[in-house]
Amino acid sequence: MPYLTLNGSRFHYHWDDYTEPWRSKSVVLLHHAAGGNLHRWRSWVPTLARHYKVLRFDMRGHAGTDGPPDGHFTLPGLAADITAVLDSLGIDKVHVVGASAGGIVSLQFAHDFSDRTHSLSLVASTPKLAQMGAAIDAGVWRRTLEEQGTKAWLASNSKERFGPNSKPELVEWYASSGEKTASDMVLGLQGCLLAQDLTSLLPQIYAPTLIMASNQDEITPMEAQYLMAENIPNARLKTFDGVGHNMKVEIPDILASTVIDFIRNVETD
């Protein structure tokens, strides 16, 4: 497996590129959610990598990437990790796609590193994780992580995480993949993100932005989606029915195609 060593920390990453070798293509960076890893995007790759170079990496503290040296997560630090990965691979700018917590990091990245951001696509994300629906209790999340681990946490709230037509084996695969990440890393990341409110940064995110949201999502509810759509200057909102918070693994082909159409419009404007 390919690794990068950045400021003393090891990062696990993947490149996927099935574009025509004689053509110059943009890079799409896929940033996964809390408790996830780069393999969460595997179903997106066949669609995206035929048209763009696709870069994925395990977020700090997740799966094959080292945790924070001091044990503490910071949102600016996580955004800076993206830049460090890009610098190491010689990449100037990217179309960044972030899911859930990865979208929160991507919002910070688009703000802090606007010169490195071609466009921003958000999948079931939010500028304020603490603003969840009534069906979600962050305290229960914490106890589940502490007492039962990452897999049990990812399997919890399945009605909010997945749509009614999701296959049980998809839910099991999704939860089991969380075993690659220690629960204390997820707890540390959650503690960081629950304390953040990026609302004031939204008007300063100038990259073209695509917001993709589930109408039935309690974790990143529609109020948060409308907030982003109204405050990010160049944002558009697209909603989906019949899927849950984890729609990136429920309808990967639809979402990847939506992102491709969006990027094409950005690059032709």
**SS3 at position 220:** coil
Q: What is the mean pLDDT of residues 150-168?
A: 91
Residue 195's domain is classified under what CATH number? 3.40.50.1820
Predicted structure pTM score: 0.97
Dig out the tokens for 121 from the structure.
């696509």
Express each pLDDT in 81-131 by its tens digit: 999 999 999 999 999 999 999 999 999 999 999 999 999 999 999 999 999
Number of domains present in the structure of the chain: 1
Report pLDDT for 70: 87
What is the band of 160 on the pLDDT scale with cuts at 50, 70, 90? confident
Express each pLDDT in 14-36 by its tens digit: 999 999 999 889 999 999 999 99
Report pLDDT for 134: 84
Report pLDDT for 256: 98
Express each pLDDT in 173-192 by its tens digit: 999 999 999 999 999 999 99
Backbone angles phi and psi of 122, in degrees to 5 = -115, 135
- As a whole number of angstroms, the distance between CA 170 and CA 161 comes to 12
The rounded percent of the chain whose pLDDT value lies above 90 is: 93
Strand locations in the chain, DSSP E? 3-6, 9-16, 27-31, 53-57, 94-99, 117-123, 209-214, 235-240
What is the band of 1 on the pLDDT scale with cuts at 50, 70, 90? low
Dig out the tokens for 191 from the structure.
């503690």
Express each pLDDT in 224-241 by its tens digit: 999 999 999 999 999 999
Short-list 89, 88, 107, CA closest to 98 = 107
Of 15-19, 210-214, 265-269, the least confident: 265-269
Q: Which residue has the higher pLDDT, 160 or 185?
A: 185
Mean pLDDT computed over every residue of the chain? 96
Report pLDDT for 158: 83
Of 3-12, 89-98, 153-162, the least confident: 153-162
Domain that holds residue 20: 3-268
